[in-house]
Structure 1
Amino acid sequence: MNTSSSFVHDFLRRLRDSNQPTAKSGQSSHYNHNNASTSNNGHQDVVLTSSTPHSFQLGTGASIFTDTIIPAITSAKSELIFVTCFWAPSKSLSALHDTLFKLAAHRHSFTGLPVLKIRICLSSRSLFQKLLHPQTRDGYVYPPSTWQKDFGLPSPDLLKAGNIDLQVKSLFFLPFSVMHPKFVIIDRQRAFVPSCNVSWEAWLEGCVEVSGDAVQQLMSFYSQTWDRDLDTKESLNLQGTSECGGLDLREAGLSLVTSSAHLAAVIPAGIEQLPTLVLPSQYHRNPRFRPFPWQRPPTPPPTPLNIALLELFDRSRETIYIQTPNLTCLPVINALLDALQRGVDVSIVTSRNMMLLEQLVTAGTTTSWCIRSLQRRYKKLAEKFALHDDDVEAGGRNLGQLHISYFRQRRVAGAGDHRGGSLPVAGTNEEEPVHSHLKLTIVDGEYTLLGSGNMDRASWYTSQELGILFHDERFAVAVKATVEKVLDGRLDAVFDSAEQ
């Protein structure tokens, strides 16, 4: 995928053409793509870049934190950007507390180290926090006196003694506009994009690590949302940090959380400088509900992430694979049905009865209802295609195959059913995921989209989201192979058109 590729050209054209003033669409948008113009080049500068993926792994949130994100945090020399959506007491938070505690003590034993600036950014802690949150783009910066009690972090005095400059900030806009992205940036050189929050849920999660120019784009995205005065081009002071070295996690006594679903992809050698799109989706405060069944759904806000997904669906030729926690966005379902009519095979992996209250509040429906509706509509298409068999034999299109599965925890003899929590594998302390929280789209075996965006109404209409799209067949194959291994024994088939 390069600047002359048809996908990039059509995507940028679609983005430019749909980027109308927000007043005309009734939206309240507060993200301006780095003040880029609506010209082709303006958007291209914002989203088009390159990256080198170093790893992709699956596991529970806690296992990904302790195996990958925590070691990365200990390697930070000058700056750590930590962005998440939800924040709650959990194994992940305990690991983060212990790491910062040990890191501060480790740094305190050295003299002349530059300040390690740590920025923790979040959107949701509790219902009351959201209801009472200041409705301003400046967000709310929490005083150090709250760090221990409210966030489970080390004491300000300890952090200061370790020459650590910490800030904790939150952003949220009523009624539903959470800042949903999750990413970690280390010294502006490496970035991690996980699907997991700082939370207790033992869900199947994913995380990709990248370096390259895409990291600078992630920094720009961070500054536009969380720190508009930050100079993202500024060089960091890394002098004197080599003497400090990294914090040895084993010597520090930090524990590792394991998961029966923890698996890293085998990234083929030579995968570097992949064409990459960094795709933000700005939040919108107007949910644009249309509650009556005869009303057509509103067009989704024309964000880079939304438009890229619709463009991928529209131009798909062979296959679409989607793994999403929820599926409640009608424009997505319509786009998938259009692809099926063109002969594209569609596979969907989602979760049953996950975050039902949130689905009802933000979408007025549930994933199960939408899945049943998708099945009914597909069957009507199948009947229509069956009436035109002669056209197919004469060179017409076949209807694509549709396969839908619900993720479930792997059944272990004698382990029982721990609904809503982690299911320990018999005889071990490993976590078994009970739902899938992975956000993954693979189109035609060559485009791979990861990030925070779900295929639900909240992600498409109100939440701020972030996606990162890679164009490389080898990377897509590696990711898909890893996912298939982890899903083995963890799927319940809901619908398979090949068996109808």
Structure 2
Amino acid sequence: MSLHEKVEGLCRNPHSVSQALAEDPSLSPGEAAKKLYHPDNISISEGHVPSKRNPATEDELERALQCGRFTTQPSELFLRVFHDSLMPLEHDPLMGCCSPSLVGSTGTCPLTIISGLPDICRHMSNLIARADKEVLLATNYWMDSDASRLITDGLKELSRRAGERGVRAVVKIMYDRGNVKQVLDNHQTVSEEEYTGKNIRLPSTKEAPNLDMQVLNYHRPMLGTFHSKFMVVDRKIGIVSSNNIQDNSNMEMMCHVEGPIVDSLYDTFLISWHNELDPPLPSRNSPAAQGGLPTFEQASFQGLFDPNGNLNVPEYGNSRSLQEVAEAGKRTELPLHAPGDPHYDVDIAGEVTRMQSVMSPRDGETGPAVAARHLNRGRHLDLKPTIEGNYAPGEEMTPYIPHRVHDLVPMALVNRKPYGATNHNGVFMPQNEAWLSAVRNATTSVFIQTPDLNAAPLLPELLAAVRRGVDVTYYVCLGYNDAGELLPFQGGHNEGVANKLYTSLTAEESAARSRLHIHYYTAKDQVAPIHDSFKQRSCHVKLMIVDSHLGIMGNGNQDTQSWYHSQEVNIMIDSAEIVTKWREGIERNQNTAKLGRSSNEDGIWRDAQGNQAKGAIGVDAGKFSWAKGVVGAVQRVRGAGGF
């Protein structure tokens, strides 16, 4: 399998949808894409999966290198995965929802968040409030909620600040709430009357008079869900995350990026938007590649770290600047930035300090009690911690993980287009090829966290990896959307898949069995997994780490829907420093590694007495699993199920 000259030409050609709109703002992104790449004449289902994938040669890796805008030399693993992710572009240049010239890039990661959903929305709302002129926000599901109120409060604050500056800010918001009109037009403009209604409750013109806001509802019937979750602010800051905008009990993950990779996310937003931009985007002539690295240039952020790169701000505790102490007056801790009671910070350093204050023990609280208090916020729960005693120093929950100042590192977008048909032909996509290539080319370790893992193409690759000596560890959520996954052709529920993997290894393959580690998400304050049906402690993180230096995170689950149908946006990073921090944050902010491990005989979690978790289905879903699947499908459409 080798890169076609057509793909090389597309990647090396400087043209992009973004550039076309900069040159002619009257074009819609859809018109620009058609002019450059003729996407209307392409059928996704005709892009067949190669019958054989041969490893790229040294010459082919060099050609792949020239297809990206890398300022530092990527690792061989990154280049192999990048090479393979480009292959589907031969059939359709926009299979990755990004202009080919912008797919491979560089960037920095100042901040990662691994926590409950509200903490990501807190950061998003701060970025929105601090925006200068432009916010582009894409999410799968938007529901009026505490999470959405954090965002809408931020939009109102942006309007207020823009008014003080005597300017207007442009806001574009895109989500997926499928309706029958999308059979004829996938991209439905949402009226102000609708987006200010009870289900969405975005600000009205009266509430945010200094915003020019457009809202779009995008879905490709039947199954082509717009599952993307990302944001671009002022074409300088990018956010890629796992969360929707709704209240739930999920642990989530977000990566804040800056540098040239933001231009790639900006381009992806334009291609996804498709329709006319009214008004045009103010940043169309201000590429991120020329905009510096805003966070790393701030003295306050640099001051978070000592000369050795260690945090000066304690990992918990009320560490504040003198100015913050003066402003706080007699308060003993910084208040939470909350919906309806916003407390905006001037920069990321302020956000980190506030979060560490919020996570400090109060009135004799233990560490597990602090974690429980914080994780309960997503659904206003009162679930008590089951972890006894206290955490050892350094084990406290730390939702915000700042990364010390670092050079630009190789990055790439490995996305996929939506595919609506009710078959599995829409599988040859950059996202899927990247995941498969990463596992195939792993030499030491593969780590995955995902709500569900049941994608048929992935399972044999995981088995092949452990058989050739690679350690494979994956974390899934017990019972996550079991009903939906039990529909025919959806791949099955997590316990059934775990059982299938372990029982596929013969008695003679004990070494391979010892290298396969399957765990069920166990929250930071709990001693055991809690079944998702209770909606108390679930996990929605989407992450793959290979050989401790290549990371892929974003929107895509390792399930049938994400592999075959939904539009997904994922970022691939080549940096041992960043990826190590990701893995440390994953382990520190949950107990999955210690307390969630399944049996390596049948893939089932049991407690010390041999009991399965309450609500668990076990290996056999029963005769009427298809009926449960129908219920799950209905819940998904209503937004009540996992997605």
TM-score of the alignment, normalized to the shorter chain, above 0.5: yes
SS of the residue 1:469 aligns to: strand
Indicate the SS of the match to 2:285: coil
Deviation by residue 1:244-283 (Cα, 9 ceiling, x = unmatched): xxxx99799416997245522252x342311001111111
1:275 and 2:323 correspond = no
Q: TM-score, normalised by structure 2?
A: 0.61
Residue of structure 2 equivalent to 1:89: 144
How far apart, CA to CA, are the structure 1 residues paired with 2:398 and 2:337? Answer: 20
> Does the 8 A contact of 1:266 with 1:478 survive in 2?
no
1:122/1:169 contact within 8 Å kept = yes
**Aligned equivalent of 1:259, options 371, 374, 377:** 374
Residue segments in structure 1 that go unaligned for 5+ positions in a row: 23-29, 37-42, 125-129, 238-247, 290-297, 387-396, 424-433
Report 1:347-426 matches (<5 A): 347-361=473-487, 363=490, 365-378=492-505, 380=506, 383-385=507-509, 401-410=515-524, 420=533, 423=536
Counterpart amino acid of residue 346 in structure 1: V
What amino acid is aligned across from residue 288 of structure 1 in structure 2?
N
Please, which of 216, 227, 251 is the counterpart of residue 204 of structure 1? 251
The answer (yes or no) to whether the contact 2:241–2:554 under 8 Å persists in 1 is yes
Partner of 2:260: 213
Q: CA deviation at 1:107?
A: 3.7
Amino acid in structure 1 at the alignment position of 2:374:
S
Correspondence for 2:572: 469
Q: TM-score, normalised by structure 1?
A: 0.77
Task: Give the Cα separation in 2 of the matches to 1:131 and 1:147.
Answer: 14
Partners in 1 of 2:514 and 2:438 — Cα distance? 16
For structure 1, which segment, 487-496 or 339-348, has the greater mean C-alpha deviation from structure 2 after superposition?
Answer: 487-496
- Hey, what's the Cα distance between the residues in 2 that align with 1:186 and 1:280? 20
1:14 maps onto 2:102 in alignment:
no
Q: Does 1:173 find its partner at 2:250?
A: no
Contact conserved, 1:31 with 1:283, CA < 8 A, in 2? no
**Shift in Å, 1:101:** 3.0
User: Offset at 1:9?
Assistant: 4.6
Q: Structure 1 residue 158 and structure 2 residue 214: aligned?
A: no
Kindly state the Cα deviation for residue 148 of structure 1 after the two structures are TM-superposed: 1.9
Letter in 1 for 2:211: I
Partner of 1:112: 166
2:451 is the counterpart of 1:325: yes
Q: Secondary structure at the match of 2:207?
A: helix
% identical aligned pairs: 20
1:234 alignment counterpart = 284
1-side partners of 2:515 and 2:94: how far apart?
Answer: 38
Name which of structure 1's ranges 5-14 and 146-155 shifts more when overlaid on structure 2: 5-14
2:156 maps to 101
Give the one of 574, 587, 602 matched to 1:484: 587
Q: Give 3-state SS (helix, strand or coil) of 1:171's partner.
A: strand
Alignment of 1:418-437 (within 5 A): 420=533, 423=536, 434-437=537-540
How far 1:122 sits from its partner (Å)?
Answer: 0.3
1:47 corresponds in structure 2 to: 103
1:234 alignment partner AA:
R
Cα offset, 1:399, TM superposition: 6.5
Matched with 1:39 is none
Q: Secondary structure at the match of 2:228?
A: coil
**Counterpart-to-counterpart distance in 2, 1:18 and 1:273:** 27
Amino acid at match of 2:556: G
* Deviation per residue, 1:46-85 (Å, 9 max, x gap): 321001100111111112212x111111011111001100
Q: Which runs of 5+ in 2 are unaligned?
A: 1-69, 288-326, 328-335, 344-354, 359-372, 376-396, 605-643
In structure 2, how many angstroms separate the alpha carbons of the residues matched to 1:16 and 1:59?
32
How much is the aligned-residue C-alpha RMSD, in angstroms? 3.3
How far is the alpha carbon of 1:371 from its aligned partner? 1.4
Q: Distance in 1 between matches of 2:512 and 2:173?
A: 51
Moved more, 302-311 or 7-16: 7-16
Higher relative CO (Cα under 8 Å, sequence separation at least 6) belongs to 1
What is the match of residue 543 of structure 2? 440
Counterparts in 2 of 1:421 and 1:104: CA distance versus 1, 3 Å: farther
Which residue in 2 is equivalent to 1:26?
none
**Code of the aligned partner of 2:130:** S
* Change over 3 Å in CA distance of 1:100–1:212 after alignment to 2: same
Deviation at 1:306, TM superposition (A): 1.0
CA contact (8 A) 1:84 1:122 kept: yes
- 8 Å Cα contact 2:478-2:531 kept in structure 1: no
Structure 1 residue 412: deviation in Å?
Answer: 6.0
One-letter amino acid of the structure 2 residue matched with residue 112 of structure 1: G
Distance 1:87 1:236, change over 3 A: same
More strand by share: 1
Residues 191 and 211 in structure 1, CA contact (< 8 A), matched pair in contact too: yes
C-alpha separation between the residues in 1 aligned to 2:74 and 2:520?
A: 39
Q: Give the aligned length.
A: 429
1:58 paired with 2:58, answer no
Superposition deviation, residue 177 in structure 1: 1.1
Instruction: Give the structure 1 partner of residue 125 of structure 2.
Output: 70
Give the whole-Å Cα distance in 2 for the aligned partners of 1:17 and 1:94: 41
Q: Does 1:122 align with 2:210?
A: no
- Tell me the SS of whatever aligns to 2:452: coil
CA distance in 2, matches of 1:51, 1:366: 37
State the distance in 2 between where 1:206 and 1:13 align: 26
Distance 1:357 1:176, change over 3 A: farther
Q: Are residues 348 and 419 of structure 1, via their aligned partners in 2, closer, same or farther at CA, if it must alter by over 3 Å?
A: closer
**How far apart in 1 are the matches of 2:78 and 2:154?**
41
CA distance in 2: counterparts of 1:105 and 1:451, whole angstroms: 32
Q: Aligned partners of 1:452, 1:118: CA distance in 2, in Å?
A: 22
After superposition, the Cα gap between the structure-2 partners of 1:155 and 1:131, relative to the gap in structure 1 and judged at 3 Å, is closer
1-structure distance, mates of 2:80, 2:418: 24
SS in 2 for 1:234: helix
Closer/same/farther in 2, CA of residues 350 and 262 from structure 1, 3 Å limit: same
Q: CA deviation digits over 1:357-380, x for unaligned, max 9?
A: 3323471522222111112113x2
Deviations 1:289-343 (A, max 9, x none): 5xxxxxxxx7x62211111111110010010000000011011111111111110
Rounded Cα–Cα distance in structure 1 between residues aligned with 2:80 and 2:532: 45
Query: Any conservation in 1 of the 2:159–2:169 contact (CA below 8 Å)?
Result: no
**Structure 2 counterpart SS, 1:329:** coil
Distance change >3 Å, CA 15–CA 196, structure 1 → 2: closer
| 3-state SS of paired residue (1:384) | coil
SS in 2 for 1:487: coil
Paired with 1:412 and 1:336, the residues of 2 have a C-alpha distance of: 29
CA distance in 2 between partners of 1:155 and 1:398 (Å): 58
Q: 1:279 to 1:18 in 2, by over 3 A?
A: closer
Q: 1:34 to 1:468 in 2, by over 3 A?
A: closer
1:146-175 C-alpha deviation (Å, 9 max, x unpaired): 22214112222232x2x2011111111222
Which residue of the partner structure matches residue 630 of structure 2? none
Contact 1:59-1:205 at 8 Å conserved across structures: yes
Specify whether residues 476 and 9 from structure 1 end up closer, same or farther in structure 2 by C-alpha distance, changes over 3 A only: closer
